[in-house]
Amino acid sequence: MNIETQAPLIVGGERTSGKNVRTQNVLAASSIANIVKSSLGPVGLDKMLVDDVGDVTVTNDGATILKLLDVEHPAAKVLCELADLQDQEVGDGTTSVVLIAAELLKNADQLAQSKIHPTSIISGYRLACKEAVRYMNENLTIPAADLGRDVVINCVKTSMSSKIIGVDSELFSGMVVDAANAVKFVDAKGVARYPIKSVNILKAHGKSAKESILVNGYAINCTVASQAMPMKIVGAKIACLDFNLQKTKMKMGVHILVNNPENLEDMRKRELDITKERIEKIMATGANVILTTGGIDDLNLKYFVEAGAMGVRRVLKRDLKRVAKATGATLCSTLANLEGEESFDASMLGHAEEVVQERICDDELIFIKGPKVRSAASIILRGPNDIACDEMERSLHDALCVVKRVLESKSVVPGGGTVEAALSIFLENYATSVASREQLAIAEFAHSLLVIPKTLAMNAAQDSTELVAKLRAFHNEAQNNPKNRHLKWSGLNLVTGVIRDNKSAGVLEPSMIKSKSIKLATEAAITILRIDDLIKLYPEKKEGGPSYQEALQSGQLDM
């Protein structure tokens, strides 16, 4: 730290400013990018993360890696948040967004060092980003018209290729597309929606990944309350309750004052009977599967057993809501009606073809198959151990997001570095037409995009410089020579290390993910570029004993 950069102003901390801070930020961003770099592409590898308790996570997902890393540098944190944002917004492409952002920063730093003001760079980047997205949407997307199931499956396969389930992408891609289609519904505006969150993914270790199954229906990780209950009910009428079926008791603080001892006996009897009456009311409507978020007392189980009904207690509310939606049941939080009486109407029941409890591994699951109102889907993942199952779940989540994006935005772009290479050629040509300071920034933007094909080639242990040069030559030809327009689909084949037509090879990605990742990366880079001063405050001196938080941590407050 030089004396010059230290401001005379007294701040209770450390101050870095000017060039120093920018260089530091860029350095931090690059080191983050370096961490996730090797997980990009079909030949990318996984990371193993061990937290302080010793729990192991194995993952290939950029967002997950960065989320688990204990990042300290503020600029690096921006990148981690960027990956998280991409994960939430679109669900896939988290690694590439970090790579692009870091590369943008690196090149901007070089420009800044040759005394170009960051604001010029920023406006250049903005312009380039806008033009790039426009060009991509106009020239590189493959529109909805020819969007068959094959295209969707290809997109999923592209997303999966880098993941642990890549070798089984044949099986999983079909599964994911089917699952997404199962939960499809058309909203009030007539737009098809794919709420992929309602695809329930359960994990059970054992068997092999290939034996993962897609269940048409909803799977709940619960068991029937009593072993004497039937394990399978065909033509199920499902009641979804959100209250306890336990002995009724008064709320806290309510005292019952009894003057006549005889009444005491009645009170006790009443406690038992209230619940019994409730159950009888529910049973009277013909319900034969009762799911509740609360508990069911052992002494009430017998009524279910005698009626040949299934009672399931402690169902998660989230699960129950989805079950209710799928089967057409109403989630019933109380039996009381407006008249002050208790009633249960048959219209509150949901219907499903069958409800069955099955043993998977060492555990039991309840499947609600063939729900009447809306089809539902659950995927049960199998694998050698929990770590693998967790990673498979993350991969499937990404894949589901891809399906959703493809089907909702209805356009795809070729993957494998095609878009980036094409955009970089386009932007370079565009830059020469801009007669201002922004020209340089746009050119650097074009250059930065090449990080994706470069990294892809590098991970595949190919000669990245030569391969990317070749790729650029193809795209240059496609854009300048109208006869060779078909070359615009050229991308990398990473297994053999040659250039091929990625559109016909079926390496596709949803265009939304691409455009979002370029936009988000630009925004993040701009945010960091604008910084010219970093003040890190020293932790405040404590006065008058330890702070509240410290006391909490040291357990002084646990009385």
Partner 1 sequence: MSAPVLVLNQNSKRESGRKVQLGNVAAAKTIADVIRTCLGPRSMLKMLMDPMGGIVMTNDGNAILREITVQHPAAKSMIEISRTQDEEVGDGTTSVIILAGEMMTAAEQFLEQKMHPTVIIAAYRKALDDMQEILAELSVSIDPTEKSEMRKIVKSAIGTKFINKWADLACDMAIKSVSTVVLDNQSTGRREIDIKRYAKVEKVPGGILEDSEVLDGVMVNKDVTHPAMRRKIENPRILLLDCSLEYQKGESQTDMELSNETDFEKILQMEEEYIKRVTSEIIAHKPDLVFTEKGISDLAQYFLSKANITAIRRLRKSDNNRIARACGGTVCSRPEEIREEDIGTGAGLFEVRKFGEEYFTFITKCKDPKACTILLRGASKDILMEVERNLQDAMQVTRNVMINPQLLPGGGAVEMAVAQIMKEKSKSMTGVEQWPYRAVADALEIIPRTLIQNCGASTIRTITALRAKHAADGNQTWGVNGETGQIADMKDLDVWEPVAVKLQTYKTAMETAMLLLRIDDIVSGTKKAEGGEGTGNAAPTGQ
Shortest CA distance to 412 belongs to which of 500, 510, 482? 510
Note whether 368 binds partner 1 by CB under 8 A.
no
Footprint of partner 1 on residues 393-422 (CB under 8 A)? Answer: 393-394, 397, 400
Instruction: Indicate if 61 belongs to the active site.
Output: yes
Note whether 461 binds partner 1 by CB under 8 A.
yes
Q: Report, in Å, the least distance between residue 272 CB and partner 1.
A: 7
Of 142 and 295, CB closest to partner 1: 295
Footprint of partner 1 on residues 132-191 (CB under 8 A)? Answer: 164, 166-168
List the Cα angle 275/277/282 in 5-degree steps: 95
Footprint of partner 1 on residues 75-94 (CB under 8 A)? Answer: 76
Which listed range, 124-132, 142-150, 200-208, 442-450, lies at the site for partner 1 (CB under 8 A)? 200-208
Indicate which residue of 16, 59, 64, 94 is catalytic. 94
What DSSP letter does each residue of 185-245 carry, written as one string?
EE-TTS-EE--GGGSEEEEEEBS-GGG-EEEEEEEES--BS-TTS-SEEEEEEEEEE-S-B
Q: Which of 17, 221, 285, 439 forms a contact with partner 1 (CB under 8 A)? A: 221
Indicate which residue of 16, 57, 59, 95 is catalytic. 95
Q: Report, in Å, the least distance between residue 103 CB and partner 1.
A: 17
Q: Which of 3, 9, 53, 557 forms a contact with partner 1 (CB under 8 A)? A: 53
Note whether 481 binds partner 1 by CB under 8 A.
no
Shortest CA distance to 63 belongs to which of 91, 104, 22? 91
Note whether 58 binds partner 1 by CB under 8 A.
yes
CA distance 136 to 427: 11
320 Cβ contact list (under 8 Å, min separation 6): 240, 242, 291, 293, 331
Q: Work out the burial of residue 289: count CB atoms within 10 Å of its CB; fewer than 13 is exposed, 13-18 middle, 19 or more buried.
A: buried
CA distance 355 to 348: 17
User: Sign of dihedral through CA atoms 492, 494, 495, 498?
Assistant: positive
Q: Report, in Å, the least distance between residue 4 CB and partner 1.
A: 11
Q: Report, in Å, the least distance between residue 343 CB and partner 1.
A: 24
Note whether 13 binds partner 1 by CB under 8 A.
no
Of 205 and 281, CB closest to partner 1: 205
CA distance 300 to 275: 8
Note whether 533 binds partner 1 by CB under 8 A.
no
Indicate which residue of 16, 390, 398, 455 is catalytic. 398
240 Cβ contact list (under 8 Å, min separation 6): 291, 292, 320, 323, 324, 329, 330, 331, 332, 350
Footprint of partner 1 on residues 493-532 (CB under 8 A)? Answer: none
Note whether 298 binds partner 1 by CB under 8 A.
yes
Instruction: Indicate if 223 belongs to the active site.
Output: no
Q: Distance between alpha carbon 198 and the CA centroid of its chain, in Å?
A: 13
Footprint of partner 1 on residues 249-278 (CB under 8 A)? Answer: 249-250, 254-262, 264-265, 267-268, 271-272
Size of residue set near partner 1 by CB under 8 A = 115
Instruction: Indicate if 94 belongs to the active site.
Output: yes
Note whether 209 binds partner 1 by CB under 8 A.
yes
Q: Would you please indicate which residues are annotated as catalytic (active-site) residues?
A: 61, 94-95, 398
